Amino acid sequence: GISVAIEANLEPWPESWDITSLSHSPLLKNPFQDIHTEYYRTIQQHCHHRDINKSSGVKIVHTSVHGVGHAFVQSAFKAFDLRPPYAVEEQKDPDPEFPTVKYPNPEEGKGVLTLSFALAEREGATVVLANDPDADRLAVAEQQKGGQWRVFSGNELGALLGWWVYQCWKQTNPDQSTVKSVYMLASTVSSKILRAIALKEGFHFEETLTGFKWMGNRARELLDQNKIVLFAYEEAIGYMCGSAVLDKDGVSAAAIAGEMTSYLAAKNITLSQQLTAVYEEYGYHITKNSYFICHDQAVIRAMFDRLRHYGNQEDVSYPSQCGGVAITAVRDLTTGYDSSQADNKAVLPSSTSSQMITFSFSNGGVATMRTSGTEPKIKYYTELCAAPGNSDAKGLQKELDDLVNAIVEDFFQPQKNNLLSKPE
């Protein structure tokens, strides 16, 4: 019905052009400047190392990928007294044609950042920040020894920002008795690294469904209970640093990432080194995410129904192992089932209109398969969570790779031949 109404009203109504009565209306107000001033005043509460920022020689490149972020990120860096980032000239102004990139999404990785890397190498910058076109998400890349660039995954950047935001809070709140009022949030398909940090440091961690409406609404509930919400994130490079904006915000996240970079550089620590330190202290969390493309809803339903009746067509019977690794818990947010709960009922909201099953494994692995709400995709998110002290990153990666291969082979069969896989 909405589409029909749009099609029937493509041409503006003649009276729409008459704005003479509006220009002098007392109801007409442009709030931009007031909001602009208040926003930057508010995010400055997350600036904790202004002296280091002022003296830092760190060079950072920023790209808005033909979107709206350029001016706002420049202002955010100024609010933090950070050295202005070098802007990728070809991409700093909004352009709906996105002429320099195949996909205007920094989540796609290095292909979107080619011009950023070139500018960084010309200027001697070691870090690249990238917003998506509407500037609500943030990607970060860092030049490694040898000159190659590392683009941090959404989960890796979530680990860094979560660690940083908590360290800053702890520094300004020496009375640790209030830590029990502190919360961090993440979507259920994101890394469990914040849970590991919370367990060791004594604050609370909660999962929500995917999408920032869930994290924002839960944050609002916690704030109404006089709790402190320090950080929330989703693996799709969306970050909510603090509670001033109850949504993902790539502008404040860029300034906070800039300050974190400057602080670490003053101690001769790179972002990659700090990420390793986080994993060594709280446990390595290795992730591997991808998807299958499928346009046939019947095939999708058959695949998920097979998992719910694994080896038993009559009764609900989920798999008990995969690739020789025992499954210790199953949560099905399509049916509302959760074997880890005493009553087998899921705590998170469930919906029969979408498919989503999570398996927990005895080796610390977690795998979630779900359908996309906007694309013809079956997405899978996997993670291996190691205990602190296990620093065999290569061994853990192989263990996760083997588990993912088994999941694809066992759980996506026999429908796999009807799916189109996206290569890694």
Task: Please say whether the beta carbons of 254 and 123 come within 8 A.
Answer: no
**What pLDDT is recorded for position 424?**
45
The helix (run of H) or strand (run of E) holding residue 159 is helix 154-172
* Strands annotated E in 250-324: 285-293, 321-322
Task: Kindly tell me if the per-residue pLDDT of 423 is higher than 60.
Answer: no
**What pLDDT is recorded for position 414?**
64
Task: Kindly tell me if the per-residue pLDDT of 415 is higher than 80.
Answer: no
The residue among 5 and 421 whose pLDDT is bigger is 5
The residue among 99 and 174 whose pLDDT is bigger is 99
The residue among 20 and 38 whose pLDDT is bigger is 38
| Furthest CA-CA distance within the chain | 74
The helix (run of H) or strand (run of E) holding residue 220 is helix 212-224
For the entire predicted model, the pTM comes to: 0.91
Task: Kindly tell me if the per-residue pLDDT of 422 is higher than 70.
Answer: no
**What pLDDT is recorded for position 174?**
83
What secondary structure does DSSP assign to 185-212, as a single string? EEETTS-SHHHHHHHHHT-EEEEE-SSH
**Residue-range domains of the chain with CATH:** 33-151 (3.40.120.10), 155-248 (3.40.120.10), 285-421 (3.30.310.50)
Q: What is the pLDDT of residues 284-334, one digit of tens each?
A: 999 999 999 999 989 999 999 999 998 766 777 999 999 999 999 999 999
Looking at residue 299, its amino acid is V
| Mean pLDDT calculated for residue range 246-275 | 98
Percent of the chain with pLDDT over 70: 98
The helix (run of H) or strand (run of E) holding residue 326 is strand 325-332
State how far the Cα of 12 lies from the Cα of 5, in Å rounded to an integer.
Answer: 13
State how far the Cα of 212 lies from the Cα of 235, in Å rounded to an integer.
Answer: 11
Q: What is the pLDDT of residues 182-206, one digit of tens each?
A: 999 999 999 999 999 999 999 999 9
Task: Please say whether the beta carbons of 80 and 50 come within 8 A.
Answer: yes
Task: Kindly tell me if the per-residue pLDDT of 18 is higher than 90.
Answer: no
